[in-house]
Amino acid sequence: MKSIKYVVLLAALAVSAGALAASGLLDRSYRPLAGKQSVDLARTYGGQVLLIVNTASKCGFTPQFEALEALHARYRAQGFSVLGFPSGDFREQEFEDEKQIQEFCTLTYGVRFPMFERVHVVGEQATPLYRDLARATGEAPGWNFHKYLVGRDGRVIASWGSRTVPDDPAIVAAIEQALKAPRQRSR
């Protein structure tokens, strides 16, 4: 009887440790684009399904902003968000000035999904979020508009390269499947 209780206790601890490890991905803060106050990602987006994308205003894939915004609008009420992270890591295809990035995204593509501060997404200077995304998938962004899908539990579900458009049936199906998971309580 004691051994059964011990096994149950170990299983509960393993589940707790897994949940703690999963929440670690979002345990960080970033400033909104051209903003001053940092946003705690875990507190604000914990329990949601997220599509995290490194963006660039002067890239050939920039028209993907339209499909990203459409996904965000379509699934937002179900607990989904697109999170954009501008980066100039690939041929400096992003403006240096965050207000210029914000203006370009809003006026050119009508972006309303959350955009955050300009960051590095590859190499030794990569921000911790992108280091963790690359570690979880074995795939760092190879170019702008790389997409990572994160489930309600904070675990990375899938990753797609730049050439896969946001409204690709595989991405839409993965988002819809992830949205079926019960909502997690945010912290």
Q: CATH number for the domain including 73?
A: 3.40.30.10
- Active-site annotation holds for 59: yes
pLDDT of 34 above 80: yes
Phi and psi angles of residue 139, each rounded to the nearest 5 degrees, phi first? -140, 110
Q: pLDDT above 90 covers what percent of the chain?
A: 84
pLDDT, residue 183, reads 80
Q: Give tens-digit pLDDT for 111-145.
A: 999 999 999 999 999 999 999 999 999 999 999 99
Pairing mode of beta strands 49-55, 80-86: parallel
Residue 184 lies in a domain: no
Q: Give tens-digit pLDDT for 36-87.
A: 999 999 999 999 999 999 999 999 999 999 999 999 999 999 999 999 999 9
Residue 63 lies in a domain: yes
Residue 187 lies in a domain: no
pLDDT of 13 above 80: no
pLDDT, residue 11, reads 38
Residue 6 lies in a domain: yes
**Residue whose tokens read 């209780």:** 5
The total number of structural domains in the chain stands at: 1
In which element (H, E) is residue 104 found? helix 98-109
Give start and end residues of each alpha helix (H) in 113-152.
Answer: 128-137
Structure-token pair, residue 184? 């997690």
Residue 116 lies in a domain: yes
3-state secondary structure of 51: strand
Segments forming the whole domain that contains residue 123: 2-179
Q: Which of 34, 39, 42, 59 is catalytic?
A: 59
